[in-house]
Amino acid sequence: MSNTIRVDTQYTMGYETEIDLPEGKTWEDVKSWYIKYHSLSVVFNDETTEEHNLDDNGWEDSKRPDGIQIYKIDEDGNEELVYE
């Protein structure tokens, strides 16, 4: 008897944030950027950097999935839905 299960979780999020770049800077001045932990990090061509919090309007976190499914997986790899 197998003790393996698979847990699927679904999250649906959409987020929009308007950010004012520093005076005199446009998107063409951006050398690189990344988003991590609800924060936008920007490096400009002149090597100055900025961080912008994207969490001002109440980000829904991963504690509340929209859906959950749990499957039992047997020794042959067959799956059986046991929770939805």
Task: Specify whether the CB–CB gap between 38 and 53 falls below 8 A.
Answer: yes
CA–CA gap between residue 34 and residue 57 (Å, rounded): 20
> Is residue 20, in this structure, part of any structural domain at all?
no
Q: For the chain, what is the domain count?
A: 1
Residue 82 has phi, psi (to 5 degrees) of -115, -10
Q: Are strands 79-83 and 39-44 parallel, antiparallel or unpaired?
A: unpaired
Q: Is residue 19 part of a domain?
A: no
Q: Is residue 67 in a domain? A: yes
C-alpha 2/C-alpha 75 separation (Å) is: 6
Strand runs labelled E in the chain: 4-10, 30-36, 39-44, 49-53, 67-73, 79-83
In a domain, 23, yes or no: no
- Decide if 77 is inside a domain: yes
More confident: 82 or 46 = 46
Nearest to 34 by CA among 17, 51, 48: 51
Q: Which domain holds residue 49?
A: 4-12+28-83
pLDDT tens digit sequence for 20-68: 888 998 888 999 998 887 788 999 999 999 998 876 555 556 566 778 8
